[in-house]
Amino acid sequence: MNQSIRAVTFMLILSACGGTNQDQADATEEQSIANQFTGADDEVKLMTVDPGHFHAALVQKFMYDQVDSVVQVYAPEGKDLQLHLQRIEGFNTRSDEPTAWTQEVYTGPDFFSAMIQEQPGNVVVLSGNNAKKTEYIQQSVEAGLNVLADKPMVIHPSEFPKLKSALATAQEQDVLLYDIMTERYEITTMLQKALSQKAEVFGELEMGAPDNPAISKESIHHFSKEVAGSPLIRPAWFFDTEQQGEGIVDVSTHLVDLILWECFPEEGIDTTEVAVVSARRWATELTPAQFEKVTGMAEFPDYLQKDVQNSVLNTYANGEFVFTARGVHGKVAAIWNFEAPEGAKDTHYSIMRGTKANLVIRQDAPQNYQPALYVEPIGETAGFEEKLKAALNELSGEYPGLNMRTSESGWEVLIPEEYKVGHEAHFAQVTEKYLEYLVAGEIPDWEVANMLTKYYLTMQAYEMSRNN
């Protein structure tokens, strides 16, 4: 019997029989032992639950020595499952670095309870319909299972107490609950953070104001796009904010995470140290033809009719809000358009304002829709170029090959192509970090604190945007 199953079963028997405190302590110790990882080959066994989002497959775009090649999939029958299995098969059969995953699939309406009861693995992967995701997270950690979850982990304020409880339970059970924050691994963002810690170049972070935040991040996405070289077919429920979540609680999760991660490196920010200042939401309109192009469905399903006006679907995928963290003003904006202009892709804009320079990420036509980092000094520039060169030389120990060239308002940081691995590869980088945490036996306290705080902020912004 799997160790974690044996431990959980033992605890349940003790509870039913009124076991002694010592028995309970022994059972807790056995559960802790069952969740210890050494980094040995194949010791991490994945259980993918209801993989309705393509991010679930991207966790498996590459293989990891520590992860068993056999993955258990628990899901209802349907198109979401078939698309997921096809994506994994595509990774297995590609000519360049093919993977060798084996998918063992359980289907049925009781898929989640079956996973909890059987527990053939020790890490639950959640990336799909978000309507029940918080509940799945809570039940998984209560069953003594580690969880690697795609964002968002919660989409409605009424569910936030479950997430808060799950984070506390995970620590009590010695299991690791972690969300997939891919954007921390985008090289321009990493360097923006690194340069913000070079006082001779950046100075100190401004506090900002509601109409001029110290740090802003804007992300533009598109419903129609390609993933892993193929047109992306999205499930119809992706356009239902009651199942996917509004933009203000979805993509915004990444942006809030980055602000906390960059402005307060490895510092846990408590919910009492943040506040939402303003928030708003708006809809993206999709015609029936556009909807069919990205879903393959000729008609809007019944559950979307509430959002249809004059034969046009209104999806509240857009949102922005301003908040403070320890007095620093930050702004996030998540925007969804139907389709990118010819040659364009998803884009990201960010500015981090310092007392000596601004650090700006742009990803528009002049940058050929590839993210680029600019350092733009404020005021006197005498000697600044030499200071920036010195700072980049210091960073070259970790990022060899960094260089710079003049730009319209300062300098562009020239980044070797090898660091520009792309969004899809970031899922492997997050997974590798999670594997490190499993071996360490814990997620750093600052990570846990910031997970709770960022979702607290998105929930507060959700409520404020609807009140407005």
Q: In 3D, which of 358, 339, 71, 30 has the Cα closest to residue 173?
A: 30
According to the model, what pLDDT value does residue 343 have?
Answer: 75
Average pLDDT of the segment spanning 284-297: 96
Residue 294 confidence (pLDDT) above 80: yes
Per the CB < 8 A criterion, the answer to whether 391 and 405 are in contact is no
Distance between the two ends of the chain, CA-based, in angstroms? 54
> What is the distance between the alpha carbons of residues 438 and 430, in angstroms, rounded to a whole number?
12
Per the CB < 8 A criterion, the answer to whether 286 and 234 are in contact is no
Residues with Cβ within 8 Å of 220's Cβ and at least 6 positions away in sequence, in order, are: 335, 336, 337, 346, 347, 348
Could you tell me the residue ranges of all domains in the chain?
35-179, 184-426
pLDDT digits (tens, 9 = 90+) for 156-207: 999 999 999 999 999 999 999 999 999 999 999 999 999 999 999 999 999 9
pLDDT digits (tens, 9 = 90+) for 64-94: 999 999 999 999 999 999 999 999 999 999 9
Residue 289 confidence (pLDDT) above 70: yes
CATH topology match: 35-179 vs 184-426: no
Q: In 3D, which of 227, 241, 247, 51 has the Cα closest to residue 150?
A: 51
According to the model, what pLDDT value does residue 66 have?
Answer: 98
* 310 or 28, higher pLDDT: 310
Q: Which two tokens stand for residue 140?
A: 């998984």
pLDDT confidence band for 361 (50 / 70 / 90): very high
> What is the distance between the alpha carbons of residues 468 and 465, in angstroms, rounded to a whole number?
5
Match 């069919």 to its residue by tokens.
292
According to the model, what pLDDT value does residue 381 have?
Answer: 82
pLDDT confidence band for 16 (50 / 70 / 90): very low
pTM: 0.90
Query: Quick one: CATH architecture of 184-426?
Result: 2-Layer Sandwich (3.30)
Q: Which two tokens stand for residue 75?
A: 């899901």
Fold adopted by 35-179: Rossmann fold (3.40.50)
According to the model, what pLDDT value does residue 6 have?
Answer: 30
